[in-house]
C-alpha cells in the first residue's frame, strides 16, 4: 500500500517504521510543527495526500472532523487514531458514506488490548452464571498520565456491566464505605514509568481468577494501526476496530 501519515509525533514515527517494515510505502508525512526530513507537507490536502491509498491520522481532536472531510473528498480511506472527537462520529460517518470511502477508528489500536476486550467479554458472559464471584478492575499507569481511570479501564468496565447482570454501576472513586453488591469498583494507581497495566479480577471465597494485560511499549499500538490500514483495503463504510477484530476472530 501507499500510506500517508497525518501527525508525526511519537505515534506517527512508530507507524512509519512499522509500515515500512511490513513492506508498505509511506508516500506522504504531514505535520505542521515537526522539522524532520520525512515530513513532506505542513498541511493536509488533496495535494499532500498525493497518490496514497490510505491516510493514517494521529493528529489533534479539534481538527479530526475537518481531516476526515479532506481525506474523504480526496477519495481515500482513513484510519483515525486521534482521540477525543467522538461526539462528531455521526457527522463523520455521514461524510464517509456520502463520499463512498472507508474509515476505521479506535481510541486504542493496541492489538493486545483489543484481544483483551474480547477475552473479558467472554469471561463476563461466563461469570454471569457464577454469582459466587465478584468482579473488579485495577489499572497502573506512569506518573505523567493525567486521566484516571484510563480509557481502557472504562471500556473494560463497560463490557463487564453489559455482560454481568448483577453489576449495574461503575464506581471509580476511592471508597471509604462498604461497596454495594451491584457496584463494580475500578481503581487506579499512578507512579513511575509504567506504560499501562490492566488487571481484571474475579474473586470468590475460595479462589481468585486474574486476567492481566501489561504494555511494554507503544509498538503494539503502531502495529494495530498498520494492520487496520491493511484490513481497510477495498472497503467502504464506517468501522471501528471491533469490526476488524470480529472478522479476524470469526475466521479462526
Residue 25 CB partners (closer than 8 Å, separation 6+)? 1, 2, 3
With b for 16 or more beta-carbon neighbours within 10 A and e for fewer, the 103-120 pattern comes to bbbbbbbbbebbebbeeb
Cell of 236: 467502504
Distance CA 99, CA 72 (A): 6
Cell of 189: 494507581
CATH superfamily of 111-214: Dihydrodipicolinate Reductase; domain 2 (3.30.360.10)
pLDDT digit string (tens) for the chain, length 252 residues: 999 999 999 899 999 999 999 999 999 999 999 999 999 999 999 999 999 999 999 999 999 999 999 999 999 999 999 888 989 999 999 999 999 999 999 988 999 999 999 999 999 999 999 999 999 999 999 998 888 898 889 989 999 999 999 999 999 988 889 999 999 999 999 999 998 999 999 999 999 999 999 999 889 999 999 999 999 999 999 999 999 999 988 865
Cα–Cα distances in angstroms (integers) from residue 203 to residues 36, 137, 160, 245, in the given order: 51, 11, 14, 28
Task: Give ranges for CATH 3.30.360.10 in the chain.
Answer: 111-214
Q: Kindly list the catalytic residues.
A: 141, 145
Q: Between β-strands 2-6 and 237-240, what pairing exists: parallel, antiparallel or unpaired?
A: unpaired
Cell of 161: 456491566
| DSSP-H helix ranges across 37-175 | 46-49, 64-73, 89-99, 111-127, 151-163
Beta-ladder partners of 238: 103
Cα–Cα distances in angstroms (integers) from residue 240 to residues 157, 207, 224, in the given order: 19, 36, 12
- Verdict on whether the full-model pTM lies above 0.75: yes
Considering the domain 2-109+218-250, what is its CATH architecture? Answer: 3-Layer(aba) Sandwich (3.40)
Task: Give ranges for CATH 3.40.50.720 in the chain.
Answer: 2-109+218-250
Amino acid at each position: 500500500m501507499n500510506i500517508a501519515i497525518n501527525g508525526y509525533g511519537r505515534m506517527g514515527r512508530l507507524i512509519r517504521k512499522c509500515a515500512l517494515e511490513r513492506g508498505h510505502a509511506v508516500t506522504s508525512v504531514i505535520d505542521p510543527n515537526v522539522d524532520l526530513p520525512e515530513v513532506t507537507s505542513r498541511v493536509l490536502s488533496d495535494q499532500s495526500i498525493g497518490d496514497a491509498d490510505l491516510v493514517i491520522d494521529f493528529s489533534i481532536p479539534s481538527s479530526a472532523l475537518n481531516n476526515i472531510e479532506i481525506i474523504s473528498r480526496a477519495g481515500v480511506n482513513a484510519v483515525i487514531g486521534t482521540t477525543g472527537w467522538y461526539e462528531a462520529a455521526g457527522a463523520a460517518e455521514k461524510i464517509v458514506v456520502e463520499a463512498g470511502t472507508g474509515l476505521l477508528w479506535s481510541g486504542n489500536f493496541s492489538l493486545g488490548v483489543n484481544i483483551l476486550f474480547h477475552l473479558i467479554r467472554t469471561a463476563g458472559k461466563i461469570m454471569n452464571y457464577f454469582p459466587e464471584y465478584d468482579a473488579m478492575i485495577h489499572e497502573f499507569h506512569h506518573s505523567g498520565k493525567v486521566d484516571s481511570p484510563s480509557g481502557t479501564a472504562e471500556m473494560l468496565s463497560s463490557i463487564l456491566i453489559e455482560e454481568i447482570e448483577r453489576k449495574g454501576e461503575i464506581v471509580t472513586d476511592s471508597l471509604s464505605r462498604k461497596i454495594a453488591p451491584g457496584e463494580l469498583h475500578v481503581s487506579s494507581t499512578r507512579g513511575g514509568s509504567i506504560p499501562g497495566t490492566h488487571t481484571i479480577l474475579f474473586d470468590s471465597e475460595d479462589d481468585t481468577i486474574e486476567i492481566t494485560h501489561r504494555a511494554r511499549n507503544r509498538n503494539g499500538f503502531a502495529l494495530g494501526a498498520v494492520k487496520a490500514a491493511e484490513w481497510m483495503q477495498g472497503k467502504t463504510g464506517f468501522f471501528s476496530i471491533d469490526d476488524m477484530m470480529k472478522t479476524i476472530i470469526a475466521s479462526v
